[in-house]
């Protein structure tokens, strides 16, 4: 991507190097109890309290030096977030709406958000209650080495996908999906989750359409994005992890679905092409 020298978003909170510490924790057994509570459907706040033993989590700065490569990656993320801001402001204005820019929090290993205490192991995520995207930059190395999806546009796709969830939140879809999922059996709730993720992929494609129109893409960038969508499809991940595919447990969509919806958004450049919820009553 042709990004260096472009505007950097001011909405990035750089928490790299800090560590999340829980004060008043009740020990390692709390993790098992919290996992059971989560599986039984306990509220997020209850799970957090179990994990912290009624205590609180704080971020403590580390004396470890920051990785120069990650510092460049942080600059890249700021530019990509700026691109998403420009794109979605333009699209929302065209629909007579006002776009509220999300914050993006960079963290190391773990982070406390309005959605709870979260480890880097879950990957990048968006938290609807606080309107923030959370990203540990080490995921970009994972994307390359573990998932086989290298390249800066693959990384940009990840950011754009999470911002796609922010767009859903602004449009009221996140809350509607959350309420409906709570009323459905697991398999049907999973299908609704897949629809949600595929729409975020489509919105990432809409963003890519606009960035391409401004001449920011290099040859091969689109292929990098499609490779990333393929690499993190549920069927691809399950096949690697288990040696078999269980479609009823999908929560993000198959590789083919993710590629299809990213392409749909990129081809049209319009939100209207991203109705993955057709027939779902949303």
**Using CA atoms, how far apart are residues 194 and 63, in angstroms rounded to an integer?**
41
CB 44 within 8 Å of CB 116: yes
Is 60 exceeded by the pLDDT of residue 233? yes
CB 77 within 8 Å of CB 135: yes
Q: What string of H, E and C letters represents the secondary structure of 145-175?
A: HCCCCCCHHHHHHHHHHHHHHHHHHHCCHHH
**b (16+ CB within 10 A) / e for 213-240:** eeebbeeebbebbbbbbbbbbbbbbbee
CB 106 within 8 Å of CB 135: yes
More confident residue, 67 or 208: 208
Q: Collapsing DSSP states into helix, strand and coil, what is residue 132? A: strand
* pLDDT of amino acid 56: 53
Confidence of residue 241 (pLDDT cuts 50, 70, 90): confident
pLDDT in tens, 91-102: 999 999 999 999
**Using CA atoms, how far apart are residues 18 and 77, in angstroms rounded to an integer?**
19
More confident residue, 25 or 70: 70
Confidence of residue 282 (pLDDT cuts 50, 70, 90): low
**b (16+ CB within 10 A) / e for 249-282:** ebebbbbebbbbbbbbbbeebebebbebbeeeeb
More confident residue, 55 or 216: 216
Percent of the chain surpassing pLDDT 70: 82
| pLDDT (average), residues 187-214 | 95
Is 70 exceeded by the pLDDT of residue 179? yes
Q: For strand 103-106 and strand 132-135, is the pairing parallel, antiparallel, or unpaired?
A: parallel
Q: Is the dihedral of CA 98, 152, 212, 207 positive or negative?
A: negative
pLDDT in tens, 248-272: 889 999 999 999 999 999 999 999 9
Is 90 exceeded by the pLDDT of residue 280? no
- The β-bridge partners of 12 are 104
> Is this structure's pTM higher than 0.95?
no
Average confidence score pLDDT of the chain: 86
More confident residue, 105 or 238: 105
Radius of gyration (Cα) for the chain, nearest Å? Answer: 19
Is 50 exceeded by the pLDDT of residue 149? yes
Percent of the chain surpassing pLDDT 90: 67
More confident residue, 45 or 71: 71
């Amino acid at each position: 991507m042709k990004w260096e020298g472009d505007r950097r978003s001011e909405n990035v909170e750089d928490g790299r190097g800090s560590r999340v510490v829980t004060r008043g924790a009740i020990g390692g057994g709390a993790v098992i109890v919290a996992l059971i509570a989560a599986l039984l459907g306990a509220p997020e706040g209850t799970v957090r309290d179990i994990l912290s033993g009624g205590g609180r989590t704080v971020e403590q700065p580390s004396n470890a030096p920051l990785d120069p490569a990650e510092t460049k990656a942080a600059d890249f993320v700021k530019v990509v977030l700026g691109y998403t801001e420009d794109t979605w402001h333009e699209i929302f204005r065209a629909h007579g709406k006002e776009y509220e820019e999300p914050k993006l929090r960079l963290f190391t290993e773990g982070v406390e958000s309005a959605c709870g205490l979260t480890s880097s192991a879950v990957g990048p995520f968006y938290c609807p209650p606080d309107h923030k995207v959370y990203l540990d930059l080490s995921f970009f190395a994972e994307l390359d080495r573990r998932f086989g999806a290298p390249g800066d546009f693959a990384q940009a796709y990840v950011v754009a996908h999470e911002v796609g969830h922010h767009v859903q939140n602004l449009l009221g879809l996140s809350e509607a999906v959350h309420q409906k999922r709570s009323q459905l059996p697991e398999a049907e709730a999973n299908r609704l989750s897949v629809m949600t993720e595929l729409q975020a992929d489509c919105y990432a494609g809409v963003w890519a359409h606009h960035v391409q129109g401004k001449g920011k893409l290099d040859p091969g960038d689109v292929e990098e994005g499609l490779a990333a969508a393929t690499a993190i499809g549920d069927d691809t991940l399950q096949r690697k992890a288990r040696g078999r595919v269980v479609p009823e447990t999908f929560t993000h969509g198959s590789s083919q679905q993710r590629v299809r919806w990213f392409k749909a958004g990129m081809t049209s450049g319009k939100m209207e092409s991203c109705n993955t919820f057709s027939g779902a009553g949303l």
